[in-house]
Amino acid sequence: MDSLTTAAARALAAGDPLGALKRVALRDDAPALALRGVAMAQVGDLVRARALVRRAARAFGSKEAVACARCVVAEAEIALVSRDLGWPAKALEAARATLEEHGDRLNAAHARYLEVRRLLLIGRLDEAERTLAELDPAPFPPASRTAHELVVAGIAMRRLRTKAARAALARAEHAAGHARIPALTAEVESASVVLNTPAARLIASGEERLLLLEEVEALLASNALIVDACRHVVRDAGMVVALARRPVLFALARALGEAWPGDVPRDMLVARAFQAKVADESHRARLRSKSGGFASCFGRWPA
């Protein structure tokens, strides 16, 4: 690369997209297109960023395998930020393999982190943890270590392991401080806010209050019988009954749980279970049938 593209690349690595654009904004060679695309992504113009990165990949051509792979990784990151989960994951895997084959360990690791983040977004936590376990962040620069810890924290939050999440965020904050990239520091701060923001609503004995993630973790670890309206399950310390595919039973469980220790009138149960304004004999017959299914699912209900 010439001196301008080198300076632009350094500016991007330091979190200065405008400084990078000043150096390559009027150039259309492949390296400049790639740098412009990354810079536009950092300033938030994701549509133009994706177009520029694609142009750069075409300009590099098949003879520049590593450069093309880096463009694929950049486009994957833009798609991830855009929440375009339909972007082909196999293209990212192929790019990562190319980078590893050519010894570009840093960008290969970045591709792996993108894979893990995508798995998190689509709810495949076990696979995300296995993929993350293959990475050792120690040899990488502070920005990459920050990304690693953010992913660790993201998995821990979804697993309701708040102590592990706080520890990972503390490590991420430390690494981001060394990286000195404002956008990275802001990302860590944004992730930390989640732990201090109400994450659920508890309705018990006719009263309602908001819960932090740590309080949700403690509640699920208790012996309480919980009707979980997020996951559509009913659970206690020794039982989990999934009702996502049995909406009527879940509606009954929720109505009874919200009213406990009180009773729920039959007409109200009909309204909640069948969304009927007026209960007739057919609704009552269906309610009796569903109540039998309810009893067979749970076996008991707190007295």
Q: What is the pLDDT of residues 73-118, one digit of tens each?
A: 999 999 998 888 888 889 999 999 999 999 999 999 999 999 999 9
Centre a 10 Å sphere on the Cβ of residue 288 and count the other Cβ atoms it contains. 10
Centre a 10 Å sphere on the Cβ of residue 208 and count the other Cβ atoms it contains. 10
Residues 180 and 218 in one domain: no
Q: What is the mean pLDDT of residues 157-169?
A: 95
Q: What is the CATH number of the domain that holds 84?
A: 1.25.40.10
CB 66 within 8 A of CB 106: no
Segments forming the whole domain that contains residue 115: 3-195
Q: What is the pLDDT of residues 22-67, one digit of tens each?
A: 999 889 999 999 999 999 998 999 999 999 999 999 999 888 999 9
Residues 185 and 248 in one domain: no
Give the residue from 195, 222, 240 where a domain finishes.
Answer: 195
Residues 20 and 124 in one domain: yes
CA–CA dist 76, 71 (Å, integer): 9
Name 278's Cβ contacts closer than 8 Å, sequence gap at least 6. none
Asked whether residue 303 is domain-assigned, the answer is no
CB 132 within 8 A of CB 155: yes
Residues 147 and 232 in one domain: no
Residues 127 and 253 in one domain: no
**Crossing angle for the helix pair 46-60 and 30-43, nearest 10 degrees?**
160
Asked whether residue 206 is domain-assigned, the answer is no
Residues 97 and 223 in one domain: no
Residues 190 and 263 in one domain: no
Q: What is the pLDDT of residues 166-187, one digit of tens each?
A: 999 999 999 999 998 888 899 9
Q: What is the pLDDT of residues 7-23, one digit of tens each?
A: 999 998 888 999 999 99
Residues 146 and 187 in one domain: yes
Burial of 210 by CB count in 10 Å (0-12 exposed, 13-18 middle, 19+ buried)?
Answer: exposed
Instruction: Give the model's pLDDT for residue 6.
Output: 92
Instruction: Give the model's pLDDT for residue 224.
Output: 85
CA–CA dist 81, 41 (Å, integer): 9
Residues 109 and 67 in one domain: yes
Asked whether residue 48 is domain-assigned, the answer is yes
Q: What's the chain's Rg over C-alpha atoms?
A: 26
Q: How many CA atoms lie within 13 A of 99 on its CB side?
A: 23
Q: What angle do CA 252, 257, 263 make, to 5 degrees?
A: 80
Q: What is the pLDDT of residues 36-46, one digit of tens each?
A: 999 999 899 99
Number of domains in the chain: 2
Q: Is residue 159 pLDDT above 90, yes or no?
A: yes
